[in-house]
Structure 1
Amino acid sequence: MRILLVEDEVGIIQFLQQGLEEEGYSITTASNGEAALQLLLENNFDLVLLDWMLPKITGIEVCREFRKKNKTTPIIFLTAKDTVQETIEGLQAGANDYVKKPFSFDELVARIKIHFRNQETQVLNLGSIEINLSNRLVYVNNQEVTLTHREFELLCYLVKNKGKVCTRTQIIEEVWDIHFDYDTGVIDVFMNSIRKKLNIKKEEDCIKTIRGVGYIAND
């Protein structure tokens, strides 16, 4: 799991980075808000630990700008600000959680694990393909791929039923919500588009066509 740690105090950065890496997390650091925002917009992180008071751009401004891009990566504020109004302001800016300084490292790790547990139910995987259900984003080898609404729904249906043959009738009924005779050839058109966008090579195809029946997704 990749965590972006944004903090301007060197001692805290070193302490948290060492401790979190020992817990098995991959840590990237930033010491000012401007660098943090650039990293967030150019990379895919699983969680952000964000200090409020930062040079150049404050943490709360980073949070607001990041959320404007419809990014849903969990953000935990690490801050000495502790009034009720400040807590509310941070949450309204888009933060998911709030840990007040000084804090227990064990408590922080526990909160991080809770957020990752919540995320696990929102992510589907098929080989090198990752589907984030909460923000409807698809990645192949960590590179974002843009799918249409119907392509996304079709891919999700197949991956949710990984290992099972999905018939054309089932797909039309569940994905298209059509419950009468309909030309199921439209499914092939969407599958061709999905394969092309995901750059799935024929010999490595993780979504196989079962001729005359439907499709099956397998790792």
Structure 2
Amino acid sequence: MARLLIVEDDEGIRVPLTRALEREGYAVDGCGDGHEALARAAAAEHDLIIIDVGLPGIDGLEVCRRIREQRPSVPILFLTAQDGELDIVDGLDAGADDYVTKPFRVSELLARVRAHLRRTTVELAEAGDVRIDQAARRAWRGADELELSPKEFDLLALLVREAGRVVTRERIMAEVWDENWFGSTKTLDMHVSWLRRKLGEDASDPRHVQTVRGVGLRFEP
């Protein structure tokens, strides 16, 4: 499970954003000022950090610079109420990987969080007898390599990475298809059916790819 740190002094933003991220399955820590942010970040426990630019005390740009010195590879995403070109450049120069301008849609921020975490995800994933090589885009069940379409591979890779946890249909459509997908999710049902067949599963009693009715899918090792 990925652990995130939100540094935002406005509880009206921090609290609902924390809840939204926790619903997505992330562990989330929050704080409201730069000094606490630096202390928490020093523990190097977080896989991604979200920082508000306008923090009291030490501002977000300075917090970002100091964290970047300690942790060169951790993804950092800025929240900013300013959308001028100079502010964006300052943020990126301070070491941020991305930014979202307030007011923002939670779905957009979640999509960016997922995208940055995917880039730092280990290339190999394994659950039970299923193995995924993300870089080579190859998958195996036991000793047998699976012949998968691009979407089948992406679907299986997501489920294996999240093995044992429910992945919502909305998250699957956003990550495997497109974050702006507005079409029917029937295409997901078809791909699940094809994927189960290629895994050699009984459609009426699947071992690995299980449906959690009204929520999404869970991969059982």
**TM-score of Structure 1 vs Structure 2, range by shorter chain:** 0.5 to 0.7
**1:88 and 1:9, CA in 2 relative to 1: closer, same or farther beyond 3 A?**
same
Specify the alignment match of 1:82 in structure 2: 83
Is 1:117 the counterpart of 2:133? The answer is: no
1:42 aligns to what SS in structure 2?
coil
Specify the alignment match of 2:30 in structure 1: 29
Specify the alignment match of 2:98 in structure 1: 97
Q: What is the CA–CA distance in structure 1 between the aligned matches of 2:7 and 2:44, rounded to whole Å?
A: 14
1:60 aligns to what SS in structure 2?
helix
2:28 aligns to what SS in structure 1?
strand
**1:18 and 1:97, CA in 2 relative to 1: closer, same or farther beyond 3 A?**
same
TM-score, with structure 1 as normaliser: 0.55
**1:29 and 1:87, CA in 2 relative to 1: closer, same or farther beyond 3 A?**
same
Q: What is the CA–CA distance in structure 2 between the aligned matches of 1:52 and 1:61, rounded to whole Å?
A: 9
Specify the alignment match of 1:59 in structure 2: 60
Q: CA offsets, 1:91-129, max 9 Å, x none?
A: 01100001000000000011111111111146x689xxx
Q: What is the CA–CA distance in structure 2 between the aligned matches of 1:56 and 1:125, rounded to whole Å?
A: 42
Aligned residues: 128
Q: CA offsets, 1:70-106, max 9 Å, x none?
A: 4321000011011101101100110000100000000
2:19 aligns to what SS in structure 1?
helix
Specify the alignment match of 1:39 in structure 2: 40
1:37 aligns to what SS in structure 2?
helix
2:74 aligns to what SS in structure 1?
coil
TM-score, with structure 2 as normaliser: 0.54
- Structure 1 letter corresponding to 2:103: P
Contact 2:44/2:71 (CA < 8 Å) preserved in 1?
A: no
Q: What is the CA–CA distance in structure 2 between the aligned matches of 1:87 and 1:71, rounded to whole Å?
A: 20
Specify the alignment match of 1:189 in structure 2: none
Q: What is the CA–CA distance in structure 1 between the aligned matches of 2:68 and 2:117, rounded to whole Å?
A: 19
Q: Alignment RMSD, CA only? A: 2.2
Identical aligned residues as a percent:
42
Specify the alignment match of 1:170 in structure 2: none
Specify the alignment match of 2:3 in structure 1: 2
Return the offset for 1:43.
3.2
Contact 2:64/2:94 (CA < 8 Å) preserved in 1?
A: yes
Return the offset for 1:69.
2.2
- Structure 2 letter corresponding to 1:56: G
Specify the alignment match of 1:215 in structure 2: none
Contact 2:50/2:79 (CA < 8 Å) preserved in 1?
A: yes
- Structure 2 letter corresponding to 1:31: G
* Structure of higher CA gyration radius: 1
Q: What is the CA–CA distance in structure 2 between the aligned matches of 1:111 and 1:70, rounded to whole Å?
A: 20
- Structure 2 letter corresponding to 1:69: Q
- Structure 2 letter corresponding to 1:43: A
